[in-house]
Structure 1
Amino acid sequence: MALRFRRRIRIAPGISLNLSKSGIGASIGPRGAKINVGSRGVYANVGLPGTGLSFREKLNKRGGRGATSAQAGAPSAGKVLEQQLQAGGSAVARVRVNEDGEVAITDDAGQPYDETELRVLRKYAGEGMRDMLQQACDQLNADLSALATVHIETLPPRDKPVFQARVFPEPEPQRRPLLQPTLWSRIWPPAGRRLQEQNERLAEQYARAFSEWEAAARAFNEQERQRREQETELVLTNLDAMANVLEEHLGEIPWPRETNVSFDLGDDASTIAIDIELPEEDDFPGVEYNLAAKQAKVSVKKVAATRRRMLYRDYAHGVAMRVLGEIFHRLPTVQVALVSAYMSALDAGTGQPTESYLYSVLVTKPQWREINFKALADIEPPATLEHFELRRKMTKTGVFKPIQPFDVAALANYRTLGD
């Protein structure tokens, strides 16, 4: 079987943490989220970026406890804060967690609260702060969780291409109302001329903005027309179009780890061979964040070696499922796919780069249809690949031994057997 194309694409991650020597900055909730503590209760305020919209929800619906007794001498910062809250004022608490699990609670200007103020905040907004700390843990653990669920959005196969149109995202510019003449502009010619010039500038600005918007809309619609033609017509016969479609859609997936994919299309558009270069296990997160049972503290626990291997095992197989889903969903003519996954390493004898293959699997489209795509959350990717023609040497705890992958001749023979 001849191979006509060789494409190598880098599928970049869509889930990431901002890592630096100073730690992980985890903003709790979406941008604009904060706790607002006041005499009427504790509220979470969340703004929706770019929309001008926001919502406010009361967190301590049972109300706060009474004030603490006054202390002798000058009032502490905590006492001042409590008096402020009791007088009807409010305070903002922002929560951040660094990579060591240390919690920083600051005001709206980023200044940390002292211990006396923190006691007041815990008194009035303890549950709300715990909720936000739990969100912080979930965000910090999101990268870890995503590794085991990369297959969840795997697409089912289809025999006919279906085009999903996109809408031009830029809104049409609105014409600003012209300035209305005043009594002074009617009786004083210079004022009337200035008014006319201002209205002419407004009209010119609108005409220019509309012309630019219209040109951008035409370019977008032309791109959509070409994409429609490529994804509904050319994808059935043109190998270039097939490669472009697959590359585009694989690149749009929010992969949790950067992974390289190479693919070769058969000369009759019915077969495809895919090589997946997997990241190393050391690239996976090594710690997990958990909220303490009764305190506003975050603990950092090292991920056990066995669990880390299992996560790597699930990710390695889940990537294959996701790639196979894109192939059989986007390329209707492909009937047989060969997927092989490997890790790059250095040969111990020569020091030269080498490829250590972890598994190799042959899948036909009829076999792919047997998967229940409505129950992907209950599916284990390593077990799923066992339903196909699979070469793999792996222990139950995810330890791989190198294998010899299927070659192109095996792909051609498998296609013939399927026919």
Structure 2
Amino acid sequence: MAFRFRNTIRLAPGIRLNLGKRGVSLSAGVRGASVTLGKNGLWGNVGAPGTGLSYRTRLSGSPSHQRRAQREQQRQSNHTASSAPELSAFKAMLDDKGQVTLVNQEGQPLSASQRRMVWSDYADRITSWLQSEMDTINGDMELLLDIHQDIVPPGSAIPDYEPEAFNQPAPTKPERQRRPSRPVKPELEVSFWDRLIPGRQQRLIQAQEQDLQQWASELEAWKQKCLQIDKAYEHRLQQYEQQVVEWNRAWEAHQHEQTQLAQMFTERLKTDDSLVADILTAELNELDWPRETLVDFDIDLAKQRVYLDVDLPEIEDIPTRSAEFGARNRRLLIKDKSERQRREEYAQHIHGIVLRLAGVVLGLFPGIDRVVVSGYSQRLDPATGNINDDYLLSVVIDKPRFAGLNFEQLDQVDPIAALERFELQRKMTKTGTFRVVEPLKPV
């Protein structure tokens, strides 16, 4: 019954947080992917496996992502100090009914005056501990019940081709070599005393003639050297200019190639089943998810459809108790959930799963008009004693009606009622009991 399709992806549970100076950001642990959560939603740069292509997509425009991240940050912060406050003078204990008991090191209850002093001095620390205990009891019910609040409108997350950078460095203009210093022409200097001494002036004149000959030779060598430097620079400059021409051609060819790839990418999103499958796999891998969930899928771009089979979480994953703060945040009100309440919460959760997965597909791919989602659960067959994969619901979600959801106020959307607007196969009682249905088949 399950595993009807050829592609399988396992959604891993957990929200991964990066806590930096600029606030909270989410990250997905997918090799080759980077994700950023900012004020405009969650964006990611991803390399689609097997394609050699990178693309950029808006994974979520819902503010609930940021609220969820902040909530998870607080949850993790509480868990780092989740043990009961224990100081040299007292320690705190919580009973099954949520009542806080303060005792001394010998285990004896504190007196009324001591309790007042403790609550006065350590109220924030005890409240933080109670918050952690409450989170432990409630589990991640907020994530389970509100999973549908992270969907995006159809077409709002269509991937954009991420152009490859032109990595060829630009040519560097050569620098002209400095010319050597020009030889200095020797000057004849004859003093008064040189004229008085016999033969002195004549010797100076002869030395001057030799110096002039040496200078003339050095001057000619200097001119030749300068000419060589100028010619070498002109040659390097011509080479540089040719390199610039070639670099510009290569840059223009790269830009043209990237433009063509971007245009092909847009078209392939509508025609290439394998590319769509790779992108859908990468995107599903990046979802923060409260429970491990197996999804099988198949893609039929010719009919503009995607088929999803979802191995739903079990009702046993729903916490059996709930807790909230009591009077003045000094105790917890802990209640056992009724079986009906758990069934109703489970129903809301699995309907939310279907909506969110459908939203991923319709948000990403312009060539998909319908998503067929079928969800099954492992349940005991009392007639045989075997565990069967029983389908609980199957629905065809079309893009126009899906676009009619109020994406600005998803907290006002009831996922159970939302799915009833579509072609739905489901047998569910008012109390949240599901009976087996036949899943819709690819046509």
Please give the TM-score of this superposition, normalised by the length of structure 2: 0.53
Kept in 2: contact 1:35–1:128 (CA 8 A): no
CA distance in 1, matches of 2:396, 2:387: 26
Question: Do residues 363 (structure 1) and 397 (structure 2) align?
Answer: yes
Q: What does the per-residue CA deviation read over 1:326-371, in whole Å, with 9 as the maximum and x for residues that have no partner?
A: 0001122111111111112344444444221111111221222111
Letter in 1 for 2:434: F
| CA 1:390–1:291: 2 relative to 1, 3 Å | same
Q: Per-residue deviation at 1:160?
A: 7.8
After TM superposition, list the pairs within 5 Å mapping 1:113-262 onto structure 2: 115=110, 120-126=117-123, 129-130=126-127, 133-134=130-131, 136-138=133-135, 140-158=137-155, 161-163=158-160, 234-262=268-296
Indicate conservation of the 8 Å contact 2:351/2:416, yes or no. Answer: yes
CA contact (8 A) 1:314 1:381 kept: yes
Query: Counterpart in 2 of 1:340?
Result: 374
What aligned pairs does 1:3-402 form with structure 2 within 5 A after superposition? Answer: 6-14=6-14, 29=78, 31=80, 78=89, 115=110, 120-126=117-123, 129-130=126-127, 133-134=130-131, 136-138=133-135, 140-158=137-155, 161-163=158-160, 234-266=268-300, 268=302, 270-294=304-328, 296-402=330-436
2:140, 2:367 → 1: CA distance?
A: 35
CA offsets per residue over residues 277-298 of structure 1, 9 Å max, x none?
A: 1122112111112333257333
Amino acid at match of 1:29: N
Distance 1:349 1:310, change over 3 A: closer
Q: CA deviation at 1:380?
A: 0.3
CA distance in 2, matches of 1:397, 1:103: 35
User: Percent identity at matched positions?
Assistant: 30
CA distance in structure 2 between the partners assigned to 1:101 and 1:295 by the alignment: 11
The residue that corresponds to 1:211 in the other structure is none
Q: Number of aligned pairs?
A: 280
- Name the residue aligned to 2:71: none
SS at match of 1:151: helix
SS of residue in 2 equivalent to 1:152: helix
Q: Does the 8 A contact of 1:235 with 1:245 survive in 2?
A: no
Measure how far apart 1:163 and its partner are: 3.5
8 Å Cα contact 2:102/2:109 also seen in 1:
no
Would the alpha carbon gap of residues 128 and 248 (structure 1) be closer, same or farther in structure 2, given more than 3 Å must change?
A: same
Q: Does the 8 Å CA contact 1:5/1:265 hold for their aligned counterparts?
A: no
Q: What amino acid does structure 1 have at the position aligned with 2:418?
A: T
Q: Distance in 2 between matches of 1:356 and 1:401?
A: 8
Alpha-carbon separation, structure 1, partners of 2:84 and 2:392: 48
Does structure 2 retain, via aligned residues, the 8 Å contact 1:231–1:241? no
1:395 CA drift (Å)? 1.6
| 8 A contact 1:239–1:269 mirrored in 2 | no
Greater gyration radius: 2
Distance of aligned partners of 1:141 and 1:340 in 2 relative to their CA distance in 1, 3 Å threshold: same
In the alignment, is the contact (CA less than 8 A) between 1:160 and 1:332 conserved in 2? no
Q: Secondary structure at the match of 1:247?
A: helix
Distance 1:6 1:352 in 2: 25
AA of the residue aligned to 1:342: Y
Q: CA deviation at 1:4?
A: 11
The code of the aligned residue for 2:153 comes to: P
Structure 1: which 5+ runs fail to align? Answer: 17-25, 37-76, 82-92, 107-111, 166-224, 410-419
Q: For residues 366 and 299 of structure 1, do their structure 2 counterparts lie closer, same or farther at Cα, with a shift above 3 Å needed?
A: closer
Decide whether the 8 Å contact of 2:101 with 2:109 is kept in 1: no
Question: For residues 95 and 362 of structure 2, what CA distance do their matches in structure 1 show?
Answer: 42
In the TM superposition, residue 6 of structure 1 has moved relative to its aligned partner by 1.4
The letter for the 1-side match of 2:347 is: R
- Higher share in helix: 2
Q: Partner letter of residue 407 of structure 2? A: F
Decide whether aligned partners of structure 1 residues 388 and 309 sit closer, same or farther in structure 2, where only a CA change above 3 A counts: same
- Cα separation, partners in 2 of 1:235 and 1:164, compared to 1, 3 Å: closer
Q: Judging changes above 3 Å, is the alpha-carbon distance between structure 1 residues 34 and 288 closer, same or farther for their aligned structure 2 residues? A: closer
Cα distance in structure 1, aligned partners of 2:307 and 2:373 = 6
TM-score (normalised: structure 1): 0.56
CA 1:397–1:134 in structure 2 vs 1: closer, same or farther (change >3 Å)? same
**CA apart distance, 1:27:** 6.6
CA offset digits 1:258-289 (Å, max 9, x no partner): 22111111152721111111122112111112
One-letter code aligned to 2:287: I
1:98 to 1:374, Cα distance in 2 relative to 1, 3 A:
farther
